[in-house]
Structure 1
Amino acid sequence: MNLGKLKNYLNLFSLQQAAVSIRDRFFAPEHEEVPYERWLEHTRISSRGYAKISKEVFHFQPTIGVYAHAEGRDRAAFVQSLSLQTYRNVRPLKDCPEAEYTLFAGPGCTLTPDMLSSCVRLLNEDNGGYVDLVYFDSDCIDAEGRKTNPAFRPEYDPILLRKVNYMGNVFLVRTALFRKVSGEMERDSGGKVSLDSDGVHAFLKRLCKGEHVRPGQERSGTVRHIPRILYHEVLENARKVSVDRHIPLLKKDLELVSVIIPNKDHVRELKSCIDSLLEVNAYHNLEIIIVENNSSSPEIFQYYEEIQKRDERIHVYTYTGSFNYSRINNFGASKAHGRFLLFLNNDTVILKPSSIWYLASHAERQDVGVVGALLIYPDHTVQHAGVILGYGGIAGHAYQGEELGELPGEYPELLFEHTRNVSAVTGACMLMRREVYEQAGGFDEELAVTFNDVDLCLRLRKEGYRVLICPNAELIHNESASRGAEDSEEKVRRFHREIGIFVRRWEKELEAGDPFYNPNLTLTGRTYTCKDPVREARAPYLKYLRME
């Protein structure tokens, strides 16, 4: 590592912005974007490979019934792909009422030869039968017959499923559950269940209605995901994705929100932040706690006096210790009276009036631990849309630097638009209930500068709470506003030490990978683009284990 370059980014008094800047630059993308065609070349299974798969012997060999919703040319292509399956214990569902599992296939879909073998392999790994539903990754076939638009899906996310059918149009389901839900669905005048895009979405939501997977156990529940391209869709059909765009009209204030803002000097940035809370923000049931930390300019103290006179909801408390982001925020939380705690950087600006309402409305749910917001730079590129565990080696921001409306591929943009589970969110804007914060013990003060926000989120997930990113809550984050130079060797050593602490603490999670970021996606290049199977290390975090 180039220590001289690192020192240019680390600033003792820039709060967490400096740490985030280091994080983003130190763990920067290393490789060029990998086209999907190249990824396919490296991952394609040969005919010899399929022959080997066909010889696999399984202890549990379920009969699989097929329920295909295809007509004409689509049906012919589907039937041909079914005839090439390496697992042969498969029949039409109407001909085998005893089938343990049913493969549902929507229109315009064809299967890879090893799809059913992959399903049965997973069922055998699970001791033959605790899985209710299995879904897969897929791609599209365009008019010229080229494979394109891969949908590399996350692990089971019930929050996301409520809004969008991210699971796709082909899935394996336990037959008893399939029949039960089919009997509950509304039917058309001909007595058939509607299986258009909205119908499939409704069907999947009903299938998963009773599946309560504890955070951190997404890969071991009754709803499973096989992260491999196991079917193809005709491109025009794949575009028809069901999305529930219902937005609540009434946004009444919930309980008191305590906004905690650490600050040192930086009058202009703090003023913009406070003005947005008082003038743009439409959630009025709040208190604003500014934690003053060793400011030296007379202007900032004059501003403190002015704003406390301006609004009785604003309070300034002084923390006199040396800079420690975790300790400062914990100090601020100790002064708060609200049921909700909103940790906010001083260089953020509320962009959408209902942002705090959206954060609080999600955090109010008992299974939710913390909620983060969409943060954008002043040039309207993305700064933060959730944290990807393992990206860049340890953790990095999803979609960072992307133009709004020009995200990589249709599928990532679909995910970007909706509230969903993530492994972590940035401390620049995170809201949680006080009881959750206290149960977690607040921020870990041993992590004074960096990864304290990610660490808190991972601890909450370990306790069984969800971590959500809510794109409806949108703020501008002027991340570079308070960044400066720092030539302290002590701070550089501290940064090294904190990386080592984090990696050793969360080595198991880093090894397993982020459940909401598909393992076929890169951890070193542009987020949500294909991984380079040749150049990318399996466990890039390992090089940081001995960092001190």
Structure 2
Amino acid sequence: MRKREKKICIIVINHLGGNILKECVTSILTLTNYTNYKLIIIDDYPNDRIVDEIKREFREVKIISLNTRVSTGYARNIGIEYAIIEEKADYIIFLDNDVKVVDGNWIRKLLKLMDKDKKIGVIAPVIYTQEYYQTFTKKDVDLIRYIPGACIMVRKEVFQKIGGFDVNFWPLGNDDSDFLNRVISSGFKVAITGKTRIFHNTTTKKRRSIFWSFINTRNYLRYILLNVRINNLYEIFSLIVIRKNLSDSFRPSNLIFSPDWYVRLVLLPLALLSNLRSIREILKLRRNRSGFYFLSHRVKNM
């Protein structure tokens, strides 16, 4: 008897993605060489013409319309609950709406590595963009603390143990970093593999306004307050300085100012004040990083 394929749900969060979203959906549906999967789009903008086109052209796609702007974490959690409760998903893949599939066997390759090591809770492929190509070792997988959230596969048991994404990284940014930190705190591994790759169109994410600088600063501060040990709080300075060599330590000779350091420095007091308003909630979450948060207990019991 042929073994049943694991059920995969691919979740794409969309906010005014336009043609970029359609290119993402088309690449998934035309190239993916795997049958037992469901593509789910969480759309938080009413009357999006491209989403309506996708509804007409690709009836196999599940579209969940929220009709209001929510955080990326909130939208992802809605997708997680639908995938696990309604679709009985074994694994969930999160894709940014500006990602393109370029390898037909991408799901099979990620799945094979997850099945080989049950302690891997999250795995990602190599990402390449217009600006760079991720370097990678010759190993099947590398275990690391952080992987870009543009494409990650997560096993169901991770959500059943720690819950979903923090909904308070509004509207987006650092929710994936926070999630991965909680995954590791709960005893699972986070890995990246060079066995497959995806393309990420980063030109759609160049946000240079004061508003986005504030959002980035505030959300990064929330991440620091939630996750960084007291003796490592100097990492707050990574808001205004960056390491020349990422593999080297956070020492003065390895630091340079980030391109918009002066803007972030001015915004830092406002960002700190914004987080202090939520300090009780932050401290509660900080005390138990591997606790079950942000999802209903129906997910835990599936």
**Common fold: TM-score over 0.5:** yes
1:356 to 101, 107, 112: 107
Going from structure 1 to structure 2, the CA distance change for 1:417 and 1:352 (only over 3 Å counts) comes to farther
Report what 1:500 is aligned to: 221
TM-score, normalised with respect to structure 2: 0.71
> 5+ unaligned residues in a row in structure 2: which ranges?
235-241, 259-264, 273-302
- State the secondary structure of the residue aligned to 1:480: helix
Going from structure 1 to structure 2, the CA distance change for 1:533 and 1:344 (only over 3 Å counts) comes to closer
Report what 2:51 is aligned to: 300
Deviations, residues 349-395 of structure 1 (Å, cap 9, x unaligned): 1112221112222333321111111110146x32xx5xxxxxxxxxx
Q: Distance in 1 between matches of 2:22 and 2:96?
A: 12
Q: Distance in 2 between matches of 1:453 and 1:359?
A: 19
Going from structure 1 to structure 2, the CA distance change for 1:500 and 1:316 (only over 3 Å counts) comes to same
Deviations, residues 116-155 of structure 1 (Å, cap 9, x unaligned): xxxxxxxxxxxxxxxxxxxxxxxxxxxxxxxxxxxxxxxx
Q: Distance in 2 between matches of 1:512 and 1:354?
A: 42
Whether 2:152 is the aligned partner of 1:430: answer yes
Going from structure 1 to structure 2, the CA distance change for 1:425 and 1:482 (only over 3 Å counts) comes to closer
Report what 1:333 is aligned to: 80
Tell me the CA shift for residue 266 of structure 1.
Answer: 2.9
Tell me the CA shift for residue 332 of structure 1.
Answer: 1.3
Report what 1:443 is aligned to: 165
Q: Distance in 2 between matches of 1:437 and 1:425?
A: 18
Report what 1:474 is aligned to: 197
Whether 2:244 is the aligned partner of 1:525: answer yes
Deviations, residues 139-190 of structure 1 (Å, cap 9, x unaligned): xxxxxxxxxxxxxxxxxxxxxxxxxxxxxxxxxxxxxxxxxxxxxxxxxxxx
Whether 2:275 is the aligned partner of 1:535: answer no
Q: Distance in 2 between matches of 1:333 and 1:440?
A: 13
Q: Distance in 1 between matches of 2:26 and 2:153?
A: 19
Pairs within 5 Å for 1:215-226? none
2:178 to 455, 477, 484: 455
Q: Distance in 1 between matches of 2:230 and 2:94?
A: 25
AA matched with 1:470: T
The structure with the largest helix share of the pair is 2
Q: Distance in 1 between matches of 2:13 and 2:231?
A: 30
1:290 to 35, 41, 47: 41
Q: Distance in 1 between matches of 2:184 and 2:9?
A: 23
- State the secondary structure of the residue aligned to 1:288: strand
Larger radius of gyration: 1
Going from structure 1 to structure 2, the CA distance change for 1:534 and 1:429 (only over 3 Å counts) comes to closer
Contact 2:244 2:254 in 1 (8 A): no
Q: Distance in 1 between matches of 2:206 and 2:98?
A: 11
2:17 to 257, 260, 266: 266
AA matched with 1:525: K
Pairs within 5 Å for 1:478-489? 478-481=201-204, 483=206, 488=211
Whether 2:64 is the aligned partner of 1:317: answer yes
Going from structure 1 to structure 2, the CA distance change for 1:420 and 1:510 (only over 3 Å counts) comes to farther
Q: Distance in 2 between matches of 1:477 and 1:508?
A: 32
Report what 2:294 is aligned to: none
- State the secondary structure of the residue aligned to 2:253: coil
Tell me the CA shift for residue 345 of structure 1.
Answer: 0.7
Pairs within 5 Å for 1:131-280? 254-280=5-31
> 5+ unaligned residues in a row in structure 1: which ranges?
1-251, 386-398, 400-412, 514-522
Going from structure 1 to structure 2, the CA distance change for 1:291 and 1:510 (only over 3 Å counts) comes to farther
Whether 2:188 is the aligned partner of 1:465: answer yes
Q: Distance in 2 between matches of 1:487 and 1:476?
A: 28
Report what 1:367 is aligned to: 119
Going from structure 1 to structure 2, the CA distance change for 1:545 and 1:361 (only over 3 Å counts) comes to farther
Contact 2:22 2:50 in 1 (8 A): no
Q: Distance in 2 between matches of 1:362 and 1:507?
A: 30
- State the secondary structure of the residue aligned to 2:177: helix
Report what 1:344 is aligned to: 95
Q: Distance in 1 between matches of 2:49 and 2:37?
A: 28
Q: Distance in 1 between matches of 2:122 and 2:161?
A: 12
Q: Give the paired residue count.
A: 249
Report what 1:42 is aligned to: none
Contact 1:267 1:303 in 2 (8 A): no
Q: Distance in 1 between matches of 2:106 and 2:232?
A: 34
Contact 1:273 1:346 in 2 (8 A): yes
Pairs within 5 Å for 1:365-404? 365-378=117-130, 381-382=132-133, 385=134
TM-score, normalised with respect to structure 1: 0.41
Tell me the CA shift for residue 297 of structure 1.
Answer: 4.1
Contact 2:224 2:233 in 1 (8 A): no
Q: Distance in 2 between matches of 1:295 and 1:374?
A: 33
Q: Distance in 2 between matches of 1:459 and 1:323?
A: 22
Tell me the CA shift for residue 327 of structure 1.
Answer: 0.5
Going from structure 1 to structure 2, the CA distance change for 1:438 and 1:483 (only over 3 Å counts) comes to farther
